[in-house]
Structure 1
């Protein structure tokens, strides 16, 4: 029997790193998680058990810490490129993929002003960057993940087709909640990725809050349009919005009315809506 090893890769996942920049008078904090994946001439490790070309994944972990000491880790896109180019320079490696997720911390407000060295984390929200490097090729995707938002009105869902299994009632005023994931690409390398990220995040939040949503599909199109309008460097944006349902509770068995006030949040199952939008498409 003939067997071919079609594709392989290996690396190190969930390398946690916190870096503190102790500038006089104010500290800066970055909290990231790094995934490293290498492709290359590693077939013999799989087929023969020959490890002579395999850089240990423990070495990859140590490399993250060492390079974080000698290089800025902000913006994470730039640090991802530093890592990708380092590993691409190793013998037998043909492609290096780096994924970085940054936990978003903000300063605690103390005495009416931001504290110089105390921070508060924004739930599960993360800034993300994905870097892929090969000979003569560099691709960067930036984004935001797990941005949990909710609005108590300004959302509807009606006019949908019904069949013999449909039980959902039309809603003219409902709670809309979702855990946003947005990824974007730029036509050329972005010289100000942090400014782009901040502009995209602000566009997502403001559009979600202000738009009168006729469906999650309607909202996701508005969000993508807003990001492209707010971020001239962005050429393409992809969004994923799971619908985090809040279902109206039937209080009639207790002789009570429910005037759109009492809900039960339901995580599963949930709707999942995707869309990709491109400038000039």
Structure 2
């Protein structure tokens, strides 16, 4: 029997970076979490412990800090692309760079005072390789949404293990993770695109009478693709955050969908993608 080295990469995970832009008395804050992953001529380090092809992960951490000081952070997609291209260009042994960034929002409370946003986290993943191929996937996670009516679930398979009663009117709640692929990364205005995609997700969720969470998921993806021409594919992960009406009859009370137990687990989990017929090959975009 013979064995060989398979696909591999290494990097620095979760470098926390806060960049304060000091515009006179009015400051601006970028709060991000940067993870970098490099691959290429790395056989020797795995097979013999030869580190001559390895850029230390500590160096990758420092590079993120230096680039923030020299160039600023700006849109996280732009920062991720800048870092990815640097590693591939500057290091002959690095053939492919993957940079993932999370951004945490802050609301202004004064010229130099801020309140941490408790809402969703903005995300992106940028890839760049030695052949000049570049992809950008933007996204968000923890966008918590709820419709208190306008949702049902019935007509499903019933077998000997089914106990769930059909619901003609139920609470629909979820925490959306969405990732969308840009057709031409260089042509995208990332801030504008993010705002438009987020608005599409909200409008489709609130405006769809839901017969299943899967139907709502597709409606959200469809709205994005029909509204945002720069996006060619979107993938969504949506847990069903169950709300069960509490039985109040032991206390002599009815409960017409007013009092609920918000269950933590287990929960249904829906995942799906929506893409244009003419979407270019994804390559390594989703890796």
Distance 1:116 1:161 in 2: 58
Distance 2:152 2:236 in 1: 20
- In the TM superposition, what are the counterparts of 1:41-52 in structure 2 within 5 Å? 41-52=41-52
Distance 2:69 2:58 in 1: 17
Q: Aligned match of 1:128 in 118, 123, 129? A: 123
Q: Residue 73 of structure 1 corresponds to which residue in structure 2?
A: 73
Query: Which 10-residue stretch deviates more, 246-255 or 218-227?
Result: 246-255
Query: Which 10-residue stretch deviates more, 79-88 or 17-26?
Result: 17-26
Q: Residue 283 of structure 2 corresponds to which residue in structure 1?
A: none
On the 8 A contact 2:19/2:72 being kept in 1, the answer is no
Q: Residue 83 of structure 1 corresponds to which residue in structure 2?
A: 83
Question: TM-score, length-normalised on structure 2?
Answer: 0.91
Q: Secondary structure at the match of 2:266?
A: strand
On the 8 A contact 1:8/1:43 being kept in 2, the answer is no
Q: Secondary structure at the match of 2:62?
A: helix
On the 8 A contact 2:33/2:102 being kept in 1, the answer is yes
Q: Residue 4 of structure 2 corresponds to which residue in structure 1?
A: 4
On the 8 A contact 1:242/1:271 being kept in 2, the answer is yes
Q: Secondary structure at the match of 2:270?
A: strand
Distance 2:171 2:161 in 1: 24
On the 8 A contact 1:44/1:50 being kept in 2, the answer is yes
Q: Residue 98 of structure 1 corresponds to which residue in structure 2?
A: 99
Query: Is the counterpart of residue 230 in structure 1 residue 227 in structure 2?
Result: yes
Q: Residue 216 of structure 1 corresponds to which residue in structure 2?
A: 213
Q: Secondary structure at the match of 2:258?
A: coil
Unaligned segments of structure 2, at least 5 residues: 279-287
Distance 2:167 2:107 in 1: 37
Distance 2:178 2:79 in 1: 20
Q: Aligned match of 1:183 in 153, 170, 179? A: 179
Question: TM-score, length-normalised on structure 1?
Answer: 0.93
Distance 2:152 2:108 in 1: 36
On the 8 A contact 1:106/1:122 being kept in 2, the answer is yes
Query: Is the counterpart of residue 246 in structure 1 residue 247 in structure 2?
Result: no
Distance 2:236 2:119 in 1: 17
CA shift, 1:124, in A, is 4.9
CA shift, 1:164, in A, is 0.8
Q: Residue 260 of structure 1 corresponds to which residue in structure 2?
A: 257
RMSD, aligned α-carbons: 1.5
Q: Secondary structure at the match of 1:54?
A: coil
Q: Secondary structure at the match of 1:123?
A: coil
CA shift, 1:117, in A, is 2.8
* CA offset digits 1:234-268 (Å, max 9, x no partner): 11111111111111112223332212111111121
Q: State how many pairs are aligned.
A: 275
Q: Secondary structure at the match of 2:272?
A: strand
